[in-house]
């Protein structure tokens, strides 16, 4: 039996209807149409004055920030509504805390009478049904909790099987148009991702990469996805070093599905917390990679090498690689003016900076230390690398460069002319069919254009078969090898791959620890301090003063 209204003319009624996906499983009676029909019939029988009907279709009962519900509260605030009717208490909400707030505080404070038809709840009268309302709210909350656990379990199972369950794929990918829970490469922005990894591999910092993309006008992931920014600022729409760093460490780009980075606090809250990487769900080989695993590992090594450096104001070749031999702390750099007024960078122990009297200053010019390390790296390259193998690689690179250059120049020009002649022949044929061109003129022009096209096609074929000068290619290969041996020590990527750490002692000795299996010498020997160009390399392999643990080779050759 539904509640009876003694004075119906005193009330202005708001009918509230809510339906979520989990509620649809309870049966067809929960549909919006059936709820509305039941409520309207009750209003007609009780001769109540209906103000409006507020509907939230597809909204969870644990979320009270619903558009229809908010509109109803606004009507209550302005005095337009003083009675709210729902089909049952769960339609109002399933969060027992907030449901109790509206029943026990909000509605009484605004003199609003609340009626739940099926539950027999009527706050306008003293009824035993009202006494058990808190228990009904708790039962509704438990139902929402149970549904949340089931949904979370299904999603976690899909994550473990490598199925994509997110709303938007990571930048560089998009959801498959036909296959659910699968992502494919987004060819529109995939070149941007590959470019970011290439720039990082060349030694550029994340901040420099972001600045380069901003200068080139490349849209950010948020801009590309048309996402609305809650609080726009002066940096909105710009790449940041943090964004680049996050992308460079995302295993999604090597074909691994990475999910579960964030987790909701509870089913009642929309706030998410970051998960520790150990709790992420990572499934390998689920989709096409954008970068190879070797490139990803090298970039990760480059990023890791920079984490030891606190000050990023000055860039220097050994950033993140050089440490104090005595205390093990990374060395910082200070900028000081020399007698001529020029800027000179000096290494200084970070422990000495922070704690007076602990460790020593280690003040040495950054340029001199870098030169000494470069000379040792060059000696290692000359003594260990196979020159003939490098020449083979250089010859292949020269051949590829010349092929690309020819294809981009003369070959493209010939192809363009051939395409133009083909289009002219097509137009002649159409004019002949339409009667615009006499047969004699057609034959004369057609033969002339056809002969020109054959000549160009023969020239293109000859261009493609043309042998490149072996002597010229060999000379360029020799130059590349010589340039490598001359500048190898100044290559940031090569240094990170070769050197694990550089240690500077208080006596200005340099200890090099290589990643590769370098020639072994007496452990007591150390690389002495030399100035500028006067530093001779070790005379023989057995004189190499390097301490080199044997690690898997990661050399770029």
Instruction: State the DSSP string of 186-254.
Output: -TTTHHHHHHHHHHHHTT--HHHHHHHHHHTTPPPHHHHTTPPPSS--TTTT---HHHHHHHHT-GGGG
- 225/262 same-domain check: yes
Please name the residue that has the structure tokens 């003319």: 9
63 and 135 belong to one structural domain: yes
Whether residue 282 lies inside any domain: the answer is yes
Same domain, 40 and 141: yes
For the CA atoms of 188, 192, 194, 200, the dihedral, rounded to the nearest 10 degrees, stands at: -170
- Whether 308 maps to a domain, the answer reads no
Same domain? 74 vs 139: yes
Does residue 409 sit within a domain?
yes
CATH number at residue 185: 3.90.1750.20
DSSP 81-131: --EEEESSHHHH-S-HHHHHHIIIIIHHHTT-EEEETTTTEETTS--HHHH
User: Do 38 and 140 have their domain in common?
Assistant: yes
User: What was the pLDDT predicted at 358?
Assistant: 67
Is the same domain home to 468 and 433?
yes
Residue 258, C-beta contacts closer than 8 angstroms, at least 6 positions apart: 250, 251, 252, 280, 281, 282
Q: The domain that contains 31 carries what CATH number? A: 3.40.50.1390
Question: Per the domain annotation, does 47 fall within a domain?
Answer: yes
In terms of domains, do 177 and 88 share one?
no
Residue at 165 is within a domain:
no
Q: Quick check: pTM over 0.85?
A: no
Helix count and strand count (H, E) for the chain: 19, 17
Residues 90 and 139 in one domain: yes
One domain for residues 39 and 142: yes
| Residue 42 belongs to a domain | yes
Give the model's pLDDT for residue 552.
30
Give the HSE-up count for residue 25: Cα atoms under 13 Å, Cβ half-sphere: 5
Residue 35, domain extent: 8-146
Q: Identify whether residues 219 and 121 lie together within a single domain.
A: no
Q: How high is the pLDDT of residue 86?
A: 94
**Alpha-carbon 178 to chain mean position:** 24
C-beta atoms surrounding 165 within 10 Å: 15
- Report the alpha-carbon distance of residue 177 to residue 103 in Å, rounded: 46
Whether residues 252 and 140 share a domain: the answer is no
| Residue ranges with strand state E in 232-321 | 257-259, 262-264, 272-274, 281-283
Please give the chain's pLDDT, 557 residues, in tens.
688 888 888 999 999 999 886 665 555 556 888 899 999 999 999 999 999 999 999 888 888 899 999 999 999 999 999 999 999 888 998 888 888 899 889 999 999 999 999 888 898 887 766 667 777 777 777 777 777 777 778 888 888 888 898 888 899 999 998 888 899 999 999 999 999 999 998 888 888 888 889 888 899 998 888 887 777 766 678 888 888 999 999 999 999 999 888 887 776 667 788 888 888 889 999 999 999 999 999 998 888 876 655 544 677 888 888 898 888 888 888 888 888 888 888 888 877 766 655 688 878 888 888 888 888 877 776 666 656 666 676 666 666 666 655 555 566 777 778 888 888 878 877 777 777 778 877 788 788 888 888 888 887 777 666 544 444 555 665 565 565 655 555 677 777 877 888 999 888 888 888 876 655 543 333 443 333 333 444 433 333 333 333 333 322 32
Q: Which of 484, 514, 547 is the last residue in one of the domains?
A: 484
Who's near 386: CB < 8 A, 6+ residues apart?
A: none
**How many domains does the chain fold into?**
3
Claim to verify: residue 134 and residue 199 sit in the same structural domain: no
Which tokens in the block code for residue 422? 């083909």
C-alpha to C-alpha distance for 557 and 554, rounded to whole angstroms? 9
Residue 318 is assigned to a structural domain of this protein: no
Q: Is residue 505 part of a domain?
A: no
DSSP at 509: -
Q: Which of 451, 484, 517 is the last residue of a domain?
A: 484
**CB of 365 closer than 8 Å to CB of 345:** yes
Of the residues 96, 130, 146, which one is the last residue of a structural domain? 146
- Closest C-alpha among 107, 106, 105, 103 to residue 136: 103
pLDDT at residue 215, as a whole number: 87
- Give the torsion through C-alpha atoms of 402, 404, 405, 408, to 10 deg: 160
């Amino acid at each position: 039996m539904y509640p009876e209204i003694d004075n119906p003319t005193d009330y202005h009624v708001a009918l509230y209807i809510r339906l979520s996906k989990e509620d649809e499983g309870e049966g067809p009676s929960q549909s919006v149409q059936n709820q509305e029909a039941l409520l309207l019939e009750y209003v007609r029988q009780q001769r109540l004055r209906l103000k409006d009907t507020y509907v939230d279709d597809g909204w969870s009962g644990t979320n009270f920030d619903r558009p229809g519900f908010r509109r109803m509260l606004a009507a209550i605030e302005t005095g337009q509504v003083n009675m709210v009717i729902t089909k049952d208490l769960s339609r109002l909400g399933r969060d027992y805390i907030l449901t109790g707030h509206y029943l026990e505080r909000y509605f009484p404070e605004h003199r609003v009478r609340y009626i739940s038809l099926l539950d027999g709840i009527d706050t306008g009268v003293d009824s035993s049904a009202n006494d058990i309302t808190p228990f009904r709210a708790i039962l509704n909350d438990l139902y929402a909790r149970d549904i949340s656990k089931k949904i979370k379990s299904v999603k976690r199972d899909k994550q473990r099987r490598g199925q994509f369950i997110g709303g938007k794929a990571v930048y560089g990918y998009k959801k498959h148009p036909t296959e659910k829970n699968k992502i494919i490469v987004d060819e529109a922005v995939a070149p941007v991702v590959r470019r970011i990894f290439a720039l990082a591999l060349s030694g550029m910092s994340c901040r420099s990469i972001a600045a380069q993309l901003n200068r080139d006008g490349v849209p950010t992931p948020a801009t590309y996805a048309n996402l609305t920014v809650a609080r726009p600022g002066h940096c909105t729409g710009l790449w940041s070093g943090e964004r680049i760093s996050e992308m460079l460490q995302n295993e999604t780009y090597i074909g691994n599905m990475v999910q579960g980075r964030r987790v909701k606090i509870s089913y009642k809250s929309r706030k998410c917390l970051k998960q520790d990487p150990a709790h992420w769900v990572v499934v390998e080989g689920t989709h096409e990679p954008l970068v190879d695993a070797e490139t990803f590992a090298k970039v990760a090594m480059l990023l890791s090498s920079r984490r030891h450096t606190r000050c990023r104001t000055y860039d220097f070749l050994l950033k993140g690689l050089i440490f104090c031999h005595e205390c093990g702390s990374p060395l910082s750099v200070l900028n000081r003016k020399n007698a001529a007024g020029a800027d000179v960078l000096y290494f200084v122990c970070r422990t000495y900076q922070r704690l007076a009297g602990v460790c020593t200053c280690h003040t040495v010019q950054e340029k001199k230390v870098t030169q000494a390390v470069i000379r040792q790296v060059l000696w290692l390259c000359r003594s260990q690398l196979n020159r003939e193998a490098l020449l083979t690689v250089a010859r292949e690179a020269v051949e590829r460069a010349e092929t690309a250059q020819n294809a981009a120049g003369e070959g493209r020009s010939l192809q363009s002319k051939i395409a133009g002649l083909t289009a002219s022949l097509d137009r002649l044929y159409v004019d002949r069919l339409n009667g615009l061109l006499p047969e004699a003129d057609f034959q004369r022009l057609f033969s002339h254009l056809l002969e020109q096209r054959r000549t160009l096609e023969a020239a293109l074929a000859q261009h493609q078969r043309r042998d490149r000068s072996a002597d010229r290619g060999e000379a360029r290969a020799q130059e590349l090898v010589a340039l490598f041996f001359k500048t190898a020590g100044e290559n940031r990527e090569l240094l990170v791959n070769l050197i694990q750490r550089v240690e500077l002692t208080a006596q200005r000795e340099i200890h090099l620890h290589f990643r590769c299996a370098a020639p072994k010498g007496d452990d007591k020997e150390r690389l002495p301090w030399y100035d500028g160009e006067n530093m001779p390399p070790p005379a023989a392999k057995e004189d190499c003063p390097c301490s080199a643990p044997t690690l898997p080779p990661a050399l770029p050759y």
